[in-house]
Structure 1
């Protein structure tokens, strides 16, 4: 889930200015997100054909949960897991999993061709998203698929000012100002995949329920706590408001809609 190094509108970088991998508990935070979304991701990848003989590229692989499940459940031939910091990937080696520390925004990044290229919660943090999508599409073998997932903010002008919604607004604004995160363009994924020359393009949206103690609720609580400095800098919240929002997530009074995960895919034509 961790994106690669690059310059951003805010001048900062994911993994350096926020969500540093060396910070205690960061791997656990990433795994909470994986618990919320991995089943949906795996169902889609398998429906698109991921299986025996496939060579796979997992971009921004985080702790490697999708990479390992591709090997164990889809029985793919191999997975190249790419991340700017590979410490979590190297900590749990399995046969067939290769780890590459790299910056995917580097024009010289050329890992080869794959039947499946997958990136989840990566491009939303990169300002060069259209160029990167074009580059990722070039790594897909004829007949193979590119699958991209990112967050979609489902709040709006009519969203009530609950502690949750206030914290979410502060988080998106704070991450945009700090590291350039921008989820407003994510619904254009299908168009961008078509522009990259892919066919059979489609998309779906999954919204996990916010249930006290659930993986997604714990993921957002940890994310707000670790992104607190960026959130406070917006002026929308103070420490007490962040703490209140974290408590709200864990309470039976929580009545809110989580950010969704939009997944879009396209296939490289055979000829």
Structure 2
């Protein structure tokens, strides 16, 4: 796990709920040492993140505290919404199709990343598709990035053809294998561990799981292959995230002297993942 990724995971799960979204550099360094990140490296990473506008700093004597910037709050809010929300519902058979026209390469590259984040798959170099009505989001994205395109709704009228579209638009076999590895790695609780062990395990759990929103479009169940591993992975994540929470939170509070208040908790409802806030 890279130090930069660790910082955002720690702030997303813990430090955003401390004070004004803050962590003392000394305490943060102590936490990161659990992941074999040296204090000197932590100082360099935090200095760079501050220079990039993700954090502001506050000085109390010799104590430096890093505080989330508005830019970082937005990133964490968007990330939490995507990571902790996996839909599971009926599909009406509609597809949103995007046919892009000529544009500069830099705009295309940026649009490609954002379309993937919105759940679109690429059928051909200039053709993108997603299940359901996503026309408003697609048109807004194209207009914002200045990419000429045609956006419309379509139906194939044939479920086998729909499944073929899904198989061509996304590498479902590779994604299913990733979910299977996630289950194998994290569905094995370690008994008798310390609070520090719980923190390390929970951070690694979240860091591994948060990659799925970038690759999983949450396709309707009708379009997925038999034995799809995602529901099992979602169940493992929600259960382990909750089981490890008390010990992990205790470790954070002991190492930093901060109090974690109102942190989010994941839940599973009929195959859909969501989150709520502690009171």
TM-score scaled by length of structure 2: 0.24
Q: Which has the larger radius of gyration?
A: 2
Which of the pair is proportionally richer in helix? 2
TM-score scaled by length of structure 1: 0.24
